[in-house]
Amino acid sequence: ILNVEQSPQSLHVQEGDSTNFTCSFPSSNFYALHWYRWETAKSPEALFVMTLNGDEKKKGRISATLNTKEGYSYLYIKGSQPEDSATYLCACRSSGNTPLVFGKGTRLSVIA
């Protein structure tokens, strides 16, 4: 089973701070990586899908990078706002025939 690890497990930042967190995966067994945003009492919502080494994606104040050679992806949030408080999930698949395997998530709390 593909092992997807996320760090840190949780994070508390002040409003206006920028922050980032990491998703690690086996570099030898990579097909695609997805980032999801999961607010409490809601369903996970897709943020980015990344497939190529060096990919960079951006959506408003949130961006992500991908390094498939070393097996990691970073998610960045610039100028965190209280509405950014959520759990951020990373998920990977090792081929087109396998379902996504999720990490345990990073829980972000932004304090006003």
Partner 1 sequence: DAGITQSPRHKVTETGTPVTLRCHQTENHRYMYWYRQDPGHGLRLIHYSYGVKDTDKGEVSDGYSVSRSKTEDFLLTLESATSSQTSVYFCAISSDRAPNYGYTFGSGTRLTVV
CA–CA gap between residue 15 and residue 100 (Å, rounded): 32
Distances (CA, A) of 1 to 12, 48, 59, 87, 102: 31, 23, 31, 23, 11
Total residues at interface with partner 1 (CB under 8 A): 24
* Cis? peptide before 8, omega within 30° of 0: yes
Single out the residue of 39, 104, 109, 111 in contact with partner 1 (rule: CB under 8 A).
104
Contact between 53 and partner 1 by CB under 8 A: the answer reads no
| Minimum distance from residue 78 beta carbon to partner 1 (Å) | 23
Neighbour-count burial of 112, counting CB atoms closer than 10 A to its CB (0-12 exposed, 13-18 middle, 19+ buried)? exposed
Q: Could you say whether residue 13 binds partner 1 (CB under 8 A)?
A: no
Question: Does 60 contact partner 1 by CB under 8 A?
Answer: no
Residue 79 has, within 13 A of its CA and on its CB side, a CA count of 2
* Stretch of 20-28, 58-66, 72-80, 87-95 contacting partner 1, by CB under 8 A: 87-95
| 37 contributes a contact to partner 1 by CB under 8 A | no
Q: Toward partner 1, which CB reaches closer, 8 or 16?
A: 8
Q: Which residues bind partner 1 (CB under 8 A)?
A: 1, 31-32, 34, 36, 42-46, 49, 51, 89, 91, 93, 96-97, 99-105
